Amino acid sequence: MNGFYDQILRHRLAANLMMLLVIGAGIWGLQSVRSQLFPDFELPLVRATFSWDNADVDTIRTQLGDPLDQEMMDSGDFDFVRAVSYRGGHRVFAAVKDGLSVDEGFATLEDAIDNIGLPSSVIIDDLEKIEVTEPVASVLLYGDLPRSDLASLGYQAQQSLLAEGVAVVELSGAPGRERVIDVDLTTLGSLGMTLDTLADRITAQFNATPAGTLAVGANSTSLVTDSPDWTVDALNEAIIAQNAGGVIRLAQVAQVREAYDNTDILRYDGMPAIKLEVSRVAGEDTLENAELLDNWMADFADELPYGVGMHKYNEIWQVVQDQLNLVISNGIAGMVLVLLVLFVFLRTRLAIWVAAGIPVSFMGTLAFMGYSDTTINTISLFGFVIAIGIIVDDAIVVAEDAAALESQGLSSEQASRTAAKRMMPAVIASSLTTIAAFMPLLLIGGSFGNLLVDIPTVVTAAIIASLVECFIILPGHLGHNGKTKPMGVRRLQFEEAFHRFRDGPFQRLVKQALGQSSIFVAAIFAVALLTLGAVTSGRIEFEPSPSLDQPTMSVTLDLLDGTTLAEAESALDQLQAVVEDIDASVGGGLIANIVQEFESVDEPDRASLELTLTSDTNRALSNADVLERVQNEFELPPVVRAYSSGRFFRGPGGGGDLEIRLVGDDIQELKQASLALQTQLLNYSDVLSDITDDLPLDGQQYQMSLTQAAQTAAVDMNSVASQVAGQLSGKTLVTVQEGDQEIPVVLQLVEHQRESDAWLENLPIQLSDGTTRPLGGLVNFHFDQGLNRITSRNGELEVEVTATYNGDQLVDFYPELENTVLPGISARFDVDWSISGQAEELESFFSDTLLAVSISILLIYLILAWVFESWLWPFAILVTVPFGLTGAVIGHWIMGMPLSTISVFGLIGLSGIVINDAIILVTVFRRLHNDGLSLYDSAVEASLSRLRPVILTSITTMAGLIPLLFETSVDAALLKPIAVGMVFGLGFGTVLILLLVPILLLHIGRLKARIASRRDGGDMETVKV
């Protein structure tokens, strides 16, 4: 193996050929990788949706929900199964267990449905694997047009975008179109029909009827009668009965009309608007989708009617571009700093070839990314920034050792080959320990782990590429480029100054630390304990995710019952005027976009402003400042009950929603407990808003029981209930496609009969013998305020109470909930509670992190034990890790930045980097001692000889990250905790490596020597350890 490696090092073209190969592979990789905001990740969720026309909630729960829940839980393939039963339908979500693919979970769901045997009336509407999408941008179509015309234009735009290749286009603000057939009970009674029989008569007119088979030779063709389209005219002409006077057409007994549902509406610039939300799916490029959207907008603008405008906003693609530019510009700035440091500390020839290795290693990393389908995103680019210092570290170690050997008289070729072979074990060990520190991060699940998964991937690829660079390419370049030129005057002056510092003040400091090691170690322990105390006491805060001012937020008005749309528009216009005045008061440029949204057309319950703000953290007002000024300057109009604010978050792990889950055996008691909890939470209106639950009460629920006469006549109660529900809710006869729209054709009772209690007793019910009877003659009524949906989790009934948290950190509110509010609820009601959402995810995150850290430490220890062939030497290196983290924590305090879950990733990565230099120092110490120096002199000389490379490697890694510390963009705020931890941690770690590690080496060496001398005899200071 050594002979083959020697041949590679001696070959005059090997280094350049390898470099060209890596660069070529990198160019291919760059063309293959996609650009997006965050890494793609798969949600381990599957979902099934069922419809059961006219079935009540209890029936659906007992005959469909409970059996399916049990079957799915018995499979053992799901972490949880959450189901929702509602009138006429059922929906189930399930999280697939770790270790199983989503496809396997989906197959288990299909098997469970097959195994329970669905009731005959149940229809499977949808079976799907939940797909993650990433927003690209939103487009508003607005103008002074009727909503129906604007909606039609919106549907046309949606279909046009989909035809252009955009994967996901969601339309909002467009009223859903229906073709409605209204009939009254009196007419039905005169015809002797029910709603069901009339539906059958109408449908029969539009279904194609078989007319036999035409045989020609060996071929045959089925013949059917032509059927009319489901147009308003065709429906009006449909024959539904006959009498002595001839046929009775539908137009004679019912009204056929076009209708639009009472959906949310949007306004922009004072005019009605329709919103198109464009998103990409996994495997697509955000920037390519943005370009596709821009091209489409340019073309579609020509098709817009006069007076209709088009406005693009919420441009997440621009965030992607900005973040890419941010990380690239900071990476370039960091690289410039790295080059400056190299040229200051190294001879020009060495600095040039070490610096040249950076782009070569990056090209190797890009080649791996292209091969492994790793995308270019904010996180992977930050992995590149981290990797700059790591890549340079390896090259510095080899180049600096080659220079030292060359100064001892070896030729440049001999020096480069010897340095490469001599430093290979230590560099490979340090690389493996760095990989061991980063790779277990892949074990962290949840949104936090999904967010930063690309960092260990990219760093590992960069390390492997750097090994190729520093052991194949770099030695060839150093050895084949002649002897180093004599130093110039300035270089000579710098070298003399450096040696004076190293052999003077620094040497005295090292000897003083070794001589008074107990005091020095005690001081380091004291700093570490004080830092730990500051964290546990809350002086250095911990928050789950960085408190970032997001560039989007909303202000919502809760409106009084009966508020008209005009009154809601007026109230929202007043609010918008206040927001615009706030923007103008700071010189403008704070508010980039405002969209108005109303919950319904007739009597909206809520109206809200969706605000887009600038994304600079140095902007004139923070989100909290804006909200405070709105609160002070906005006078609530008479129709407004209250107002609340909400924040929109980008990426996993964000959010301010409180989720409390109540579990019990009785659904009514759960509802009462939920109402009591919501009342309690109203006491915290300063930080909580939008308090609600997912178990709404049904304001008009009649309980029916058969009369004695109906029971005697063996009337089927299920049939009665089904017919009642069908007549009150209407029947969808068909859904027809007209142009870009899907239009349901609905048969229903006239509105005043559907919503009037007085008409309930007159509903015609068809009995088994074909006769009809009014409902009032078959059942007894009694009123009850019931529930129109039931939720469960793993078969247990539950209700989820949610609220928007408007404070800084949701975890700050947990103690009040856990110690005061929730125990009081469980004392009053027979329910259990748990805080879900972010609390659940944090618990999982810390559990996964503890496992990852434990595996990292074990792997690093085993690698070090293998390299040093000792169980004790690794402890001299591992002890530096917790003290290195001390510097990272202090850095957060200096920068005024709380620790967060994001910081944890930086701390884990820091551990691997701090270890690298310590490994080289231990290697040099053992080599010096084995060459004859005493343990004490070996410790001193090892620290002195490693001063330059340790400072170089630490400063170059820090230099790659320092520009991010001064970045003001919100887009950088997510990455700052990692940069802060690594910069300050490396600064403190450098001191530990140069002073603490020699102390540990001396004492461990003496311990090993004492054991060896007792066993074999000899002088403790010279015995080989």
Check whether 1025 has a pLDDT greater than 70. no
pLDDT tens-digit readout, 756-786: 666 777 788 878 777 778 877 888 876 665 5
- Maximal CA-CA distance, the chain: 128
Q: Please report the pLDDT score of residue 54 as a whole number.
A: 67
Q: Determine the pLDDT at residue 487.
A: 64
Q: Kindly state the average pLDDT of the residues 600-618.
A: 76
The CA distances from residue 318 to 276, 289, 290, 623, 1006, in Å, are 17, 11, 9, 21, 61
For residues 688-708, give the mean pLDDT.
Answer: 71
For strands 177-183 and 741-749, give the pairing. parallel
Cα–chain center distance at 198: 50
Average pLDDT across the chain, whole number:
80
C-alpha span between 953 and 250 (Å, rounded): 86
What are the two backbone dihedrals, phi and then psi, of residue 496, each rounded to the nearest 5 degrees? -65, -45
pLDDT of residue 211: 44
Strands 552-559 and 640-647: antiparallel
pLDDT band at 262 (very low <50, low <70, confident <90, very high): low
d(CA 353, CA 398): 11
Residue 618: pLDDT above 70? no
Q: How is residue 584 written in tokens?
A: 């103008």
Non-local (6+) Cβ contacts of 943 within 8 A are 510, 921, 994, 995, 997, 998
Task: Indicate yes or no: pTM above 0.85.
Answer: no
Write down the pLDDT at residue 546: 59
Instruction: Give residue 883's pLDDT band: very low, low, confident or very high (50, 70, 90).
Output: confident
The token pair that represents 753 in the structure block: 């009969």
pLDDT tens-digit readout, 95-129: 898 778 888 999 999 999 999 988 877 888 889 88
Round to whole Å and give the CA distance between 571 and 597: 12
The C-alpha atoms of residue 838 and residue 817 are separated, in whole angstroms, by 14
Between CA 397 and CA 186 the distance in angstroms is 95
**Of the given ranges (219-228, 416-425, 484-493), which has the lowest mean pLDDT?**
219-228
- Reported residue count of the chain is 1025
Among 326, 551, 455, CA closest to 39: 455
H/E/C letters for each residue in 829-874? Answer: CCCEEEEECHHHHHHHHHHHHHHHHHHHHHHHHHHHHHHHCCCCHH
pLDDT digits (tens, 9 = 90+) for 788-842: 778 888 888 888 888 877 666 666 777 788 888 888 888 888 988 888 766 666 6
Q: Residue 481: pLDDT band by 50, 70, 90 thresholds? A: low
d(CA 514, CA 1002): 8
Give the model confidence (pLDDT) of 75-85 as tens digits.
989 988 999 98
Distance CA 982, CA 903 (A): 9
Report d(CA 286, CA 377) in Å as an integer: 10
**Domains identified in the chain and CATH numbers:** 2-32+319-482+491-539+842-1016 (1.20.1640.10), 45-129 (3.30.70.1430), 133-176+262-313 (3.30.70.1320)
Residue pair 114/828 in contact (Cβ under 8 Å)? The answer is no
935: tokens are 């343990």
Report the pLDDT averaged over residues 128-147. 86
